[in-house]
Structure 1
């Protein structure tokens, strides 16, 4: 996909945060361009989407055979027999998860708990998570070998969001994915206004991080990286992920801005469940 034409999650004119400064997201509110934050009356709809995501993602990991005990989306692989969904309805086979590059995994592959993060680099709620909650989770769980974080691109805003996702993966080829990922969220004004095809702002970030800019520009033009981003986007859309950020902690889905205590509670519950 090219350009900034509105896609599955394009910003509308109804007051939803866009590329500029945004008010701090409220707890549990995913960024859904073109829509206002969820009202209480829409809880059932969001819950239904969450249950669908849980069911399909769980079965999708069964279909993957990329590694022992862990699916390609970074979640622990369940048993070969699909379990009933929380509503009692049987799950159905979902789409096969695209392969995750090693550099998009943060933490030990042997960690007892995994957390998959679906995000868009222009999403202010994702930026809030990256700046506020993620450093705490890395310090408390990732560095202690208790949590593996897996990133999945969900650039539903199109255009420069997709280009940013490709740029982060290009940095990943120099073992700097997470540094670049964090830099994109730390200073969005440095790149969100760039025109389609203008890679100058992305190269400037790479230079600031000390990367080989010649290699970075070459990798940025590699269609393989664009294909990987598009595969993640298609996977998220096929799961019906309702917005960003979206999280899967050992297959349990939840969405939107959350206090760090919510993550801690869910991670530790997953640890206890084994």
Structure 2
């Protein structure tokens, strides 16, 4: 019971701390699956109308920045744990625009910013499209247990993949495509209470921010909704890196790293 009470207090504190940003993200979430021509879309415009904290860029919230986990052992993340910029991505494998981001934008961000140490990407499972979404999220988590999350991510978001659904047999096919060595273990892990708890944790974090659509992102505490044009992410990442440098945060040099692949 004491642990439960502590968790409740922590949730209340987080909820109070991100209230303003949650309202902004929630207000814009109905367009989160529709690309916008404006940088950051409605969220950015609303955020820039709010007063930033001392020393912070407009539209950047310290409370949201602290949601970055920076766990070097996290198989659902790629990039250095000490990277100056962390992009948290809340997404669903059934989401068409999440797939568009994964295929068209993310690879460029990895090559341009992750590989050279500026950016870390942390995935959060945010299934919102029913049972198929939930199964895919648990499957992705299970693939991560064998160090193949990002390979599963690539297979699940391949052009035409979501149209095949995410039934149990399809998940095993994706696991094999991803190079998961022990498919029997994958099936057990995907159906485990641990998988359900991990997915629920990510999902509740997203809902706590006011997100109701996918994809949604936080770039060092700056909310971005939808599969925005590449330059929106470039601008947000570069601004965050510049701000971090001015504050002496994360050099991206040395420290622990977590990249694609690996094994448990």
TM-score range relative to shorter protein: 0.5 to 0.7
* 2:220 aligned residue: 250
Structure 2 unaligned residues grouped into runs of 5+: 1-29, 51-57, 245-264
Which secondary structure state, in structure 2, belongs to the residue aligned with residue 254 of structure 1? strand
Offset of residue 56 of structure 1: 11
Give the root-mean-square deviation of aligned CA atoms. 3.1
Residue 243 of structure 1 and its aligned partner are, at CA, apart by 1.7
Indicate yes or no: 2:107 matched with 1:108: no
Partner of 1:12: none
Shift of residue 191 of structure 1?
A: 6.5
Q: Which has the higher contact order (CA 8 A, sep 6+)?
A: 2
Distance 1:252 1:173 in 2: 30
- The aligned counterpart of 2:153 is 181
Query: Who is 2:139 aligned against?
Result: 167
Query: Residues of 2 paired with 1:139 and 1:104: CA distance?
Result: 18
Number of the residue aligned with 2:173: 204
- Map of 1:66-145 to 2, 5 A cutoff? 71-74=66-69, 102-145=74-117
For 1:149, what is the secondary structure of its paired residue? strand
Q: How far apart, CA to CA, are the structure 2 residues paired with 1:112 and 1:186?
A: 30
Query: How far does residue 218 in structure 1 lie from its aligned partner after superposition?
Result: 1.5
Evaluate the alpha carbon distance shift between residue 43 and residue 132 of structure 1 in structure 2; reply closer, same or farther with a 3 A threshold: closer
State the alpha-carbon separation in 1 of the partners of residues 61 and 198 from structure 2: 18
2:201 matches 1:231: yes
- Could you tell me whether the CA contact under 8 Å between 1:155 and 1:162 is conserved in 2? yes
Q: Are 2:63 and 1:59 aligned? A: yes
CA-CA distance at 1:193 after TM superposition: 3.2
Provide closer, same or farther for how the CA distance between residues 43 and 210 of structure 1 changes in structure 2, counting only shifts above 3 A.
closer
CA distance in 1, matches of 2:233, 2:59: 21
Partners of 1:57 and 1:239 within 8 A in 2: no
Match of 2:165 in 1: 193
**Using a 3 Å threshold, how does the CA distance of structure 1 residues 128 and 72 change in structure 2: closer, same or farther?**
same
SS for the counterpart of 2:123 is strand
Q: Give how far 1:55 is off.
A: 9.1
| Distance in 1, Cα, partners of 2:164 & 2:61 | 31
Q: Is the 8 A contact 1:190 1:201 kept in 2?
A: no
Q: Please list the CA deviations of residues 36-89 of structure 1 after superposition, one character each: whole Å capped at 9, or x if unmatched.
A: x9xxxx958x937x97xx99974366xxxxxxxxx45347xxxxxxxxxxxxxx
Q: How many residues align?
A: 201
